[in-house]
Amino acid sequence: MSAQSARQWRAVLFEVNVISESVFDVVWRSSGATSGPERVFVLVDHAGCSGLLARLSQSTSLRWSSLFQDSTESSAIEVAPILIDLGSPDIPASGGKRLLAWLSEACSSSNAVLVMRSTRAHEELSASLKRRLDALLPDDMPVLLRYFDSRVFVSLMQTFDAQQKAAFCCIASQWLWLDRGGKLREMITREETEDVLHDPITFSVAQQAQLIESCEADAVAQEVVRTAPDLCSGLSRGQLHELVSACLPAAHRHGITSLLMQSLFCMVSLEHGVSFHEQASWLDGLTAARTQGQDFAWVVQQVERSLA
């Protein structure tokens, strides 16, 4: 992978919100499965939930805070992760269930919501979550870790070693999120009395590469939606992700590595079928492009000229 491509994927992983769709009405039923001193919290990516602050201002019973508060990003409230205290599983805060119902309609992305259960007070949990925003890449570059995007959260859980995972998750006993198809996913972890994570999370070269690879299909799907919304209007986000995932191996085989060219490859797949690259005209163009050092946009132009 080229240095430029690595930077593109890294930017998506650590800075860009992804789009998906689902409902949240199952979350509270799962969260209410146990009793005790625990409280239910929901972490919402405000960038994927327009109108959240206006909604919260209408409720006097729900406590909330921005994880960007008192940081260099404090003015970026519109894209901040917002932590909301929904109360205990047995006695939810007034308006908690209504908020979850509203989120199911208001969020442009099911990936914008992460639910957790913890014995910590709101201020303590908020402080711990803020520390988890800080990470260092292998080149010692500080980054904002977008774990509050549940897709990134899942990738992190798959990439961390056992010690990193235990340290990251030690502030809650249960984590819930919805996948691209709207299915509720759950992870049970060991909550510790003291937060053991104090320093920025550090990734190895191998871990960074694994994280970049894990977000590739989502990044390409997002670019396809942004560039050609009409092409994918009949697909759910989960279906689009499956199509992109099916196309990327072929794109890699033909040396197509940039985000823009991979998204163009997928757009052509939407128009001509996922096996289009096996057709003689496309295969000849792809072969010529590699020989001549041309990109996939050049291939599209050549094929369109031959068919004109």
**Any idea how long the chain is?**
308
pLDDT digits (tens, 9 = 90+) for 47-85: 888 888 888 888 777 899 999 987 656 557 778 999 999
Domain total in the chain: 2
Reduced 3-state DSSP string for 72-97: CCCCCHHHCEEEEEEECCCCECCCHH
Owning domain of residue 290:
228-307
**154 and 256 share one domain:** no
144, 176, 208: which is the final residue of a domain?
A: 208
Pairing of strands 134-136, 201-202: parallel
**143 and 264 share one domain:** no
174, 208, 242: which is the final residue of a domain?
A: 208
**233 and 181 share one domain:** no
C-alpha span between 39 and 53 (Å, rounded): 21
**183 and 234 share one domain:** no
**203 and 133 share one domain:** yes
Lowest mean pLDDT among 54-63, 92-101, 235-244: 92-101
**252 and 165 share one domain:** no
- Position 217 in a domain: no
Q: Please state the separation of Cα 219 from the chain's center in Å.
A: 9
Whether the CB-CB separation of 62 and 84 falls below 8 Å is answered with: yes
- Position 187 in a domain: yes
- Position 221 in a domain: no
C-alpha span between 228 and 162 (Å, rounded): 41
pTM of the model as a whole = 0.75
C-alpha span between 155 and 158 (Å, rounded): 5
pLDDT digits (tens, 9 = 90+) for 161-180: 999 999 999 999 999 888 77
Whether the CB-CB separation of 243 and 279 falls below 8 Å is answered with: no
Q: Which residues of 110-124 are buried (b: 16+ CB within 10 A; e: fewer)?
A: bbbbbbbbbebebee
208, 240, 263: which is the final residue of a domain?
A: 208
pLDDT digits (tens, 9 = 90+) for 270-283: 999 999 999 999 99
Whether the CB-CB separation of 48 and 108 falls below 8 Å is answered with: yes
- The yes-or-no verdict on residue 246 having pLDDT over 80 is yes
- Position 191 in a domain: yes
DSSP the chain: --HHHHHHHHHHHHH---------HHHHHHHTT--SS-EEEEEEEGGGSTTHHHHHHT-SS-EEEETTTTSTTTT-GGG-EEEEEEE-SSSBPTTHHHHHHHHHHH-S-GGGEEEEEESS-HHHHHHHHHHTTEEE-TT--EEE--TTSHHHHHHHHHHS-HHHHHHHHTT-SEEEEE-TTS-EEEEE----SS----SPEE--HHHHHHHHHHHHHHHHHHHHHHH-TTTTTTS-HHHHHHHHHHHHHHHHHTT--SHHHHHHHHHHHHHH-TTGGGSHHHHHHHHHHHHHT--HHHHHHHHHHHH-
**147 and 247 share one domain:** no
- Position 218 in a domain: no
**242 and 106 share one domain:** no
- Position 220 in a domain: no
**30 and 161 share one domain:** yes
**188 and 262 share one domain:** no
HSE-CB of 14 using CA atoms within 13 angstroms: 22
Structure tokens of 189? 């972890």
**136 and 241 share one domain:** no
> Quick one: CA dihedral 13, 144, 24, 226, positive or negative?
negative
For the residues 289-306, what does the mean pLDDT come to? 93
pLDDT digits (tens, 9 = 90+) for 192-223: 999 999 999 999 999 999 998 888 888 899 89
**303 and 159 share one domain:** no
- Position 260 in a domain: yes
C-alpha span between 301 and 222 (Å, rounded): 24
pLDDT digits (tens, 9 = 90+) for 31-53: 444 445 888 899 999 888 888 88
